[in-house]
Amino acid sequence: METPFTFGKLAMGDDFTNRTEEIIRLKNNFVSGINTIMISPRRWGKSSLVEKASRMIMQENKKIKIISIDLFNVRSEEDFYRNLAEQVIRGTTTKLQEIISFTKDFFKQWIPKISFSPDFQEFSLGLNWSEVKKQPDEILDLPQQIARAKGWKIIICIDEFQNIGFYSDTVAFQKQLRSHWQKHQDVSYCLFGSKRHMLMQVFTSPSMPFYKFGDMMFIEKISTKDWEKYITERFRATGKEIAPELSSRIAELLDNHPYYVQQLAQLCWLRCDHKMTAQVIDQSLDSLTLQLSLLFQNLTESLSTTQVNYLRALINEETHFSSKETIQKYQLGTSANVSRIKQALTDKEIIDTMQGTGVFLDPMFKIWLKKYYFLE
Ligand SMILES: Nc1ncnc2c1ncn2[C@@H]1O[C@H](COP(=O)(O)OP(=O)(O)OP(=O)(O)O)[C@@H](O)[C@H]1O
Ligand SMILES: [Mg+2]
């Protein structure tokens, strides 16, 4: 039997809840050709949201094509160009003849080689990197050329955009992208990812090529009220019962973190015979904590003693990290050291600074530290 909760893959269909306003905003940007930049910590639901808005808009308007590119594994400029070209072609045609004519019609400086799989269902492009590097224009302008030829609007959604930061000369590369993209009349871009600090630098520093490139969206977590409704309803739909206050408890225990709320709800649902109890929630949370224990142990071992001390202070809700007492109590070294620790933990994506105070990005790590690590 299928379980009613989902995590670790895109939330789609019935698994997708809420985000009404974000969907409206995204769809508006898509229709009006406004570039979007979307940022949120890991596993808060960016990819699911973009996928949802994309499906909706393509169903409503046949002249809008959405092309998705995931930079997760794309670690060089060369890979980027190949991915872009292939995905743009895949997203605009499935006809063999057209694939061939696209490469003939829109590439003049050099012609990419196409290889097809034996059943002709899949293709890949062979690009000569030295040529591409010299003249990437035709690849970058390919979506605009196709959009104009077809009378379409194209939106290119690029996931894990922060990865372009790893390319060897990333600023020059960004300059190259921006100089082309800003001329595209019929193509807009939705760029999203999770490394807030890196992405903020790319999109908000005046000296960077992508400064003021588009509408900046910061995705929030889903509210307790919405989780309450969602979890209660999913239990009901599968013949089990949970009181609304227990549903909201599941969400609150995990700071409303979308991935973990789904995961805990799932564990609770599996353990629940018919009617949910507070005790089962506690057991499920314990079991989840133990499940992740090895992972967190390794993570903690990779941290320095002062970094761990800093986390302990954070858990104890200390606020004045530069005060003598706090520094002494938690053995944080000097106050200059404190900001270094904070920076290191931020770079490792363990904490983030929100409204001036550090918060744990992973609510389960916080629970584990509190319940197991610091108690030992
Ligand atoms: N709208 C939603 N409704 C219900 N659950 C959601 C929703 N959005 C996200 N989730 C939950 O969060 C998980 C992570 O979602 P998703 O992969 O879209 O996040 P992400 O921000 O793209 O993560 P990453 O930064 O790792 O790429 C999903 O598997 C699902 O369990
Ligand atoms: Mg994602």
Query: Do 236 and 283 fall into the same domain?
Result: yes
Q: Please tell me the distance between residue 189's alpha carbon and the centre of ligand 1 in angstroms.
A: 21
Arithmetic mean of pLDDT, 174-183: 96
Taking only the tens place, the pLDDT of each residue in 187-223 is 999 999 998 888 999 999 999 999 999 999 999 999 9
Q: Please tell me the distance between residue 47's alpha carbon and the centre of ligand 2 in angstroms.
A: 4
| Number of the ligand 1 atom closest to the C-alpha atom of 48 | 18
Give the DSSP letter of residue 35.
-
Domain that holds residue 70: 19-218
Q: Please tell me the distance between residue 45's alpha carbon and the centre of ligand 1 in angstroms.
A: 3
Inside any domain, residue 85: yes
Mutate to test the pocket of ligand 1, among 38, 43, 255 (most ligand atoms within 8 A of CB): 43
Q: Please tell me the distance between residue 305's alpha carbon and the centre of ligand 2 in angstroms.
A: 32
pLDDT at 354: 79
Query: Do 77 and 113 fall into the same domain?
Result: yes
Query: Do 90 and 208 fall into the same domain?
Result: yes
Mark which of 269, 291, 313 sits at the end of a domain: 291
Arithmetic mean of pLDDT, 101-126: 88
Query: Do 83 and 70 fall into the same domain?
Result: yes
Query: Do 26 and 138 fall into the same domain?
Result: yes
Q: What percent of the chain has pLDDT over 90?
A: 80
Arithmetic mean of pLDDT, 138-145: 96
Distant-in-sequence, close-in-space partners of 308: CB < 8 Å, separation ≥ 6:
300
Return the minimum-mean-pLDDT range out of 25-39, 124-138, 171-185, 260-274.
Answer: 124-138
Amino acid identity for residue 119 in this structure: D
Arithmetic mean of pLDDT, 94-103: 89
Arithmetic mean of pLDDT, 353-370: 91
Distance CA 364, CA 343 (A): 21
Distance CA 132, CA 57 (A): 33
Amino acid identity for residue 9 in this structure: K
Query: Do 283 and 312 fall into the same domain?
Result: no
Give pTM, 2 decimals: 0.92
pLDDT band with cut points at 50, 70 and 90 for residue 1: low
Upper half-sphere CA count for residue 343 (Cβ side, 13 Å): 7
Query: Do 207 and 232 fall into the same domain?
Result: no
Q: Please tell me the distance between residue 224's alpha carbon and the centre of ligand 1 in angstroms.
A: 16
Query: Do 187 and 253 fall into the same domain?
Result: no
Inside any domain, residue 14: no
Mutate to test the pocket of ligand 1, among 220, 259, 267, 288 (most ligand atoms within 8 A of CB): 259
Which residues does a 6 A CB cutoff place in the pocket of ligand 1?
Answer: 6-11, 15-19, 40, 42-48, 194, 258-259, 262
**CATH number, position 324:** 1.10.10
Arithmetic mean of pLDDT, 20-45: 96
- Look at residue 376 and tell me whether its pLDDT is greater than 80: no
Inside any domain, residue 10: no
- Look at residue 45 and tell me whether its pLDDT is greater than 70: yes
Its sign, for the CA torsion 19, 21, 25, 27, is positive
- Look at residue 94 and tell me whether its pLDDT is greater than 90: no
Number of domains forming the structure of the chain: 3
pLDDT band with cut points at 50, 70 and 90 for residue 357: confident
Return the minimum-mean-pLDDT range out of 106-110, 237-241, 283-287.
Answer: 106-110
Query: Do 121 and 270 fall into the same domain?
Result: no
> Looking at per-residue confidence, does 120 or 329 come out higher?
329
Mark which of 291, 318, 346 sits at the end of a domain: 291
Query: Do 81 and 164 fall into the same domain?
Result: yes
Distance CA 297, CA 234 (A): 33
Inside any domain, residue 313: yes
| Number of the ligand 1 atom closest to the C-alpha atom of 263 | 31
Inside any domain, residue 309: yes
User: Quick one: tokens of 145?
Assistant: 């050329």
